[in-house]
Structures are given as structure tokens and as C-alpha cells.
Amino acid sequence: MSNLLESYNKILALLHTLDGKDNYRQQVRPPKMTDKQLIALCLAAESQGIDSERYLFRQLPSELLVIIERSVYNRRRRALSPKIEDFRQAMSHAIVPVETYHVVDSMPLEICRFSRAARSRICQREVETAPDYGYCAAHKMHYFGYKLHAVCTVQGVLRNVGITKASCHDIHYINDIRDDLNACVLIGDKGYLSQTLQLDLFDNHGLKLNTPMRKNQQDYKPFPQAFSKVRKRIETLFSQLCDQFMIRRNYAKSFEGFSARIISKVAALTLIQWINHQAGREINHLKIMI
């Protein structure tokens, strides 16, 4: 419990260095716990592997428990998801301000087991954001849920993160973020192999997309060994998100709650990298006590 309070206080002080404001939403009455304090509590919990709100409120110290209720915390955290993402972006650029090479990849996020998909009601409120069926070639499995897309630097700092339906092709995500990645080299796997897309990105955005070629393609060239090594960085990040931050464990019932959980976990990972960077440590050694 004391570790949670210490982490909360340290994270709150770090957030103050990024933004001097305390509240980011217009409310009739000023809340007892400010928006920034709530974000700090959320990141402190995620950084310690506490992803259950029920368990979190059992561990909360009395000085925090008297200023926030569980239902209010849940509702406000969802509303503050855009601000949490803003903080994550600020921390990301504080670690690596400019980078020419980036890596792109995706990973499956199951909502429920495949056998339960037909009767599942999780995140089914809106058709546009409802989960659907997809296939993961890396794991050779069909699943029901969403797909997490990510772009990271060669150092392992996440730049862009997005959630799409499981059936969404990886190429569509690049079309959504190409304006954010002008004049850089993007390294992907065979899921991003598209000559039309590569030419369009290069001609209109100065973005060079490098992917392994299929051996039966004309003018086949082996994928550079240096790019293959760099690609392992984002795969390691996905493994850390699954292991330490339990990103595939889902307690949410709505898409807003689901996306808020994902954003919070990714922000907590970037926060630890930022703390390591400030302390002069290897940024990707994430198992530390804040």
C-alpha cells in the first residue's frame, strides 16, 4: 500500500513537469481529486500491475480513498483517456525527440474465447466499435476481438498506438497515420507488403516502407539483417505489454472502457521508460519499483 502511495506521489510530480494544469474537463463543482491526480493514480496502478479496479480500491491508502469513489474513478478515467494519451505522447518525445527509423506491427486482443464469441455481449453497444472475427498469422489462430497497432522507434519507444477491429488489414492503419510519419523509414513485416501502398507513401509523404519480399516475387531481394534485428524491438514490447501489463486481460464491458484500459497500460509502459531515461538507465528495463 505504501509503495502505491509513493509511486502515485512521484508520478504526480512528474506529470506536473509536463503540464501545469490540474483539471482538463469542465465540471460544475471542482472534484476532490483533480484530473491530474486521477491520471497519476491510474498510471501508478498500471505500473504496479494492478489492472483490477476492485483490487485497486482495496489497496488504496485512506488519504486517497476519501477523495474518490470507484464508480466515479471508472467514469472519469474513461473521459480522460485523450489526456492520458497526450501525456504519453509528451513522455515519448521527451525520451526520443526525433527519429528517422520506425517499426510497425500489430497484435491480437481477444475479447473472449472463440467458442463464446457468438453469444458475447462485450463491447456490442455500437456497431462501429463492436469486435469481430480475425486471423493472426504469427500465432496461426482465429480469434474474436480487436487488433492493436503500434509504431515504435528503434529504441523501443512507442510513437503511435491504435485499436481496430480484428478483421481490419494492417495496411489500413498505415493509411490513417501516414501524415504523422513524414520523411522517415518504416519497417514492417509481410502483412504490410503492398507495392501500391509503398509507392503512394514515398511519392506523397516521403515515407519509405520496407517489408520482407516473398521469394516468388520478381526481383526478389533478401530482407536486410539489420532491419530484421530492429523488428524484434516491437515484438519485445508486445511481449512486455502482455506479461507485465497484462494487456490481453479484459474486464471492460464497453469499448470506451476497453480502449481506456489499453491506453492506460501503454502510457504506464512509456512512463517507466521515461523514468529510466531520466535516471540514466536502460529504458526498456521495465521491472522497476517507481
- 266 vs 182: which has the higher pLDDT: 266
Average pLDDT in the 262-285 region? 96
- Domains, the chain, in order of start with CATH, read 2-79 (no CATH), 99-252 (3.30.420)
Can you tell me which residue has the cell 513522455?
91
Q: What is the pLDDT of residue 1?
A: 42
Query: Above 70 in pLDDT, residue 2?
Result: no
Q: Residues 252, 237: contact at Cβ < 8 Å? A: no
Pairing outcome for strands 101-112 and 208-210: unpaired
Q: Out of 19-23, 72-76, 195-199, 238-242, pick the least confident.
A: 195-199
- Three cell numbers written together for 145: 476481438
Average pLDDT in the 144-171 region? 94
Rounded CA separation 137/146 (Å): 15
Q: What is the dihedral of CA 250, 252, 256, 260, to 10 degrees?
A: -50
